Amino acid sequence: MTFFQIFSIDDFYQFEEQIFQLDKACFSDGVWDLDQWSKLFKHYHLNILVAQHKEKPVGFIVFSNIDKEVEILKIGVEKTSRNLSIGQQLIEKMIELLKKKKTRVIFLEVRSDNQSAVKLYSKCFFELVSRRKNYYRNPDCDALIYRLEI
Ligand SMILES: CC(C)(COP(=O)(O)OP(=O)(O)OC[C@H]1O[C@@H](n2cnc3c(N)ncnc32)[C@H](O)[C@@H]1OP(=O)(O)O)[C@@H](O)C(=O)NCCC(=O)NCCS
């Protein structure tokens, strides 16, 4: 597995097509368009870490890095590559990179019915810190807030 990072909208343009394809391959809804990516890069110090296998992008993690705090906004692994620990490797690689910076804590929010994501965050030692009852609709479910100190 190899990894590369995208730090700015200018970098993003270079890999635009690959990111769109990857986003579509990972999420049945909630795929972001160029306008959304641009706004996120502008306002949230966005980072994208992409995992590649044999030079093909297979997964990505998107996180915002503001001072000492990081929020994971999205993590996805394409369907045919799931349950091979690529999600775990993405999180571990992100942590390795963040440890070289000022980051001390990572947050994320996830649907309580997303079993594979909940499993992934638990095995990466994230701690459940809060639950927002019925935060999500269609189908209704809670939002879980996880936190990891690094
Ligand atoms: C969540 C996601 C990124 C995980 O990626 P991944 O590469 O499969 O992750 P890993 O292989 O490291 O770990 C997944 C774990 O979930 C487990 N799992 C998978 N399906 C599961 C299910 N239905 N119930 C319980 N556990 C499940 C796997 O067994 C594995 O745990 P293990 O290593 O102890 O066996 C991937 O499933 C995905 O892209 N999902 C769609 C996008 C998404 O929902 N993203 C999260 C919110 S932004």
Nearest CA to ligand 1 atom 19: 116
Q: Please tell me the total count of domains within the chain.
A: 1
What pLDDT, on a 0 to 100 scale, did the predictor assign at position 150? 95
Which atom of ligand 1 is closest in space to residue 72's alpha carbon? 48
Per residue in 73-115, pLDDT tens? 999 999 999 999 999 999 999 999 999 988 999 999 999 999 9
What pLDDT, on a 0 to 100 scale, did the predictor assign at position 67? 81
Nearest CA to ligand 1 atom 48: 74
What pLDDT, on a 0 to 100 scale, did the predictor assign at position 69? 94
Task: Please give the distance, rounded to the nearest whole angstrom, from the Cα atom of residue 107 to the centre of ligand 1.
Answer: 18
Alpha helices, DSSP H only, in the chain? 9-26, 34-44, 86-99, 115-123
- Enter the DSSP assignment of 85: S
Give buried/exposed letters for 98-137 (b at 16+ CB in 10 A, else e): beeeebeebbbebebeeeebbebbeebebeeeeeeeeebe
The domain spanning residue 80 has which CATH number?
3.40.630.30
What HEC string does 119-147 produce? HHHHHCCCEEEEEEEEEECCCCEEEEEEE
> Which of 131, 110, 132 minimizes the C-alpha distance to 122?
110
What pLDDT, on a 0 to 100 scale, did the predictor assign at position 102? 86
Residues of the chain with pLDDT under 50: none
What pLDDT, on a 0 to 100 scale, did the predictor assign at position 87? 98
Residue 64: in which H helix or E strand, if any? strand 56-66
Nearest CA to ligand 1 atom 42: 76
- Enter the DSSP assignment of 55: T
What pLDDT, on a 0 to 100 scale, did the predictor assign at position 8? 92
Is the CB–ligand 1 distance for residue 148 below 6 Å? no
Task: Please give the distance, rounded to the nearest whole angstrom, from the Cα atom of residue 10 to the centre of ligand 1.
Answer: 31
Q: Name the pTM for this structure.
A: 0.96
Nearest CA to ligand 1 atom 26: 116
- Cα distances (angstroms) measured from residue 101 to each of 9, 70, 113, 128, 146: 21, 11, 33, 24, 21
Backbone phi and psi for residue 32, each to the nearest 5 degrees, phi listed first: -90, 140
Task: Please give the distance, rounded to the nearest whole angstrom, from the Cα atom of residue 5 to the centre of ligand 1.
Answer: 22
Give buried/exposed letters for 21-54 (b at 16+ CB in 10 A, else e): ebbebbeeeeebeeeebeebbeeeebbbbbbeee
Is the CB–ligand 1 distance for residue 72 below 6 Å? no
State the residue range of the domain holding 64: 2-149
